[in-house]
Structure formats: C-alpha cells, structure tokens
Chains A and B, each alone.
Chain A
Amino acid sequence: AQSVAQPEDQVNVAEGNPLTVKCTYSVSGNPYLFWYVQYPNRGLQFLLKYITGDNLVKGSYGFEAEFNKSQTSFHLKKPSALVSDSALYFCAVRDGEGTDKLIFGTGTRLQVFP
C-alpha cells in the first residue's frame, strides 16, 4: 500500500532563513507526489507535484521540492521563509495507477517567527 510520512509535527524557523518540511514515501511503482498547504480556517491549496522529469520541482509562492529516489523523500523547501508562510503543510502520494485518490500525511505545522 502507498503511504507518506511527515516525521515532524511542527517546524519553527526565523523569517529570512531557509526552511525544509520533510516527507518520505513508500510506493509500489512510480510515485506521484504532491504538496498542499492549509492556511487557518481555509481548505487545502495545491503547491506543487512531481510526476517525472527533473528532481527539483518548483511550485507556488516560491516553494520547491526535491524528489530523492534513493532516500524515498520529497522534502519541501524555500530559500527564505516569510511570516505569511506559517501554515499546515501536507505531503500526499497518489494511491496507485489510474486513480486520482491521494493518500495524505498527517501534516506539519510551519511556524515562521519575525
């Protein structure tokens, strides 16, 4: 069965510093991987996805993610954090071929301090 793990419940970073939110995955076959963000009192918003090609995927709001097959990881990164990036971040993987059903992680709360 496909799964993703987000090992950190919360990540704290100072504004202007680089940030990393971790995600590891377990899939059979080729992974389709996603990052979503949830701001307070809102639904989830799509940030980026990896299907194939370049291991470094660029997404919305200056975020990027690095696909690492050998480490089965798909960490979300941003070179310089903003206070407005504070939110809940979800990693997800497609649950098999021929479906758009996603398996989500438990989420990581990112807190950016001024």
Chain B
Amino acid sequence: ETGVTQTPRHLVMGMTNKKSLKCEQHLGHNAMYWYKQSAKKPLELMFVYSLEERVENNSVPSRFSPECPNSSHLFLHLHTLQPEDSALYLCASSQDAGGAAAPLHFGNGTRLTVT
C-alpha cells in the first residue's frame, strides 16, 4: 500500500469544467511534487513544494493551479483544460527537496481525460 494517496483515480472532464486533484502523503515528508506522464514522453515535473512553499514551477500553463495547504496535502486545480492535457498526473513526496537525493515516493496517479 503506497504512503501517497491520490484521488480520484480517474477523471473525465469537459474543457469548460473546473476540477481538482488531491494528494495526501502519510510518510512525514516535507516536499511534494506534481508530475505529468504522457505516453512516449519523459515524466514532466510540473510543481515542487518544499515546506509548503512552491520552489519550482516549470512553465506550466496557468490553467493548472497548485495548492499546498500543509506538508501532507497537495492539490492541483484544473480549469479550461485542453484535450492535450489528458495524461496520468502523478503526485510524489520526499524527505527534503534540497539536493540530498532522497527517493521520491509516488502515488498511483489520476488518469485525466479531457473531452
């Protein structure tokens, strides 16, 4: 059983909808991440939070909006998405994002389909 829980597992939304992805980690880690996984492409890092502060934002379109209310929870708010945003969205956590090379612990992902 993973220590990182993502909900929902599957999401289908229209381009005009607003939805949110949720991630919760039970590992006591202080860094959390959002990754996008598309077929035949490398994993794309979207956002990094360390100690609840955003430390990385990889030129992600503003239709993706992250929120980290505390070190255990991470959200990704979605609005006016495009069909090319359909992908598997993975949340991960680690102990420290300061270069100590701590392993990432991933959730099972949310499979998003934009129609």
Which residues of A are at the interface with B, using a C-beta cutoff of 8 A? 32, 34, 36, 41-46, 49, 51, 90, 94, 97-107
Instruction: Quote the shortest CB–CB distance from B76 to chain A (angstroms).
Output: 15
Question: In the bound complex, how far is the Cα of B98 from the Cα of A98, in angstroms?
Answer: 5
Majority SS at the chain B contact face: loop
Q: List B contacts of A106 (CB < 8 A).
A: 40-42
Contact status of A94 and B42, CB under 8 A, knowing A43-B4, A43-B108: no
Cross-interface CB contact of B101 among A42, A43, A94, A105, cutoff 8 Å: A94
**Complex CA–CA separation, A20 to B90 (angstroms):** 27
Which B residues are closer than 8 A to A by beta carbons?
Answer: 2, 4, 6, 31, 40-43, 45, 48, 56, 90-92, 94, 96-109
Least Cβ distance of A29 to chain B in Å?
Answer: 11
CB distance from B46 to the nearest CB of A (A): 11
* A-B contact list, 13 entries, CB within 8 Å: A43-B107, A43-B108, A44-B104, A46-B103, A51-B101, A94-B101, A100-B97, A100-B100, A100-B102, A102-B45, A104-B42, A104-B43, A106-B42
**CA separation between A34 and B104, bound complex, in Å?**
10
In the complex, the 6 A-B pairs of residues with the closest C-beta atoms, listed nearest first: A43-B106, A46-B103, A104-B43, A98-B99, A100-B97, A44-B106
Complex Cα spacing A102 to B48, Å: 11
- Residues on B with C-beta less than 8 A from A46 are 103-105
CA distance A82 to B106 in the complex (A): 24
B53 to chain A, nearest CB (A): 14
Are A43 and B2 within 8 A (Cβ)?
yes
Give the nearest-CB partner of A100 in chain B. B97
Select the residue from A44, A49, A99 with max chain B CB neighbours within 10 A.
A44
Closest B residue to A105 by CB, please name it.
B42
Task: Give the distance in Å from the alpha carbon of A6 to the alpha carbon of B44 in the complex.
Answer: 16
Are B92 and A43 in touch, CB under 8 angstroms?
yes
Identity of the chain A residue whose Cβ is nearest the Cβ of B105 in the assembled complex = A46
| A-chain residues with CB within 8 Å of residue B48 when the two chains form the complex | 100-101
Q: How far is the CB of B25 from chain A (nearest CB, A)?
A: 12
When the two chains form their complex, are residues A90 and B103 in contact, meaning their CB atoms are under 8 A apart? no
Find chain A residues with CB under 8 A from B4 CB: 43
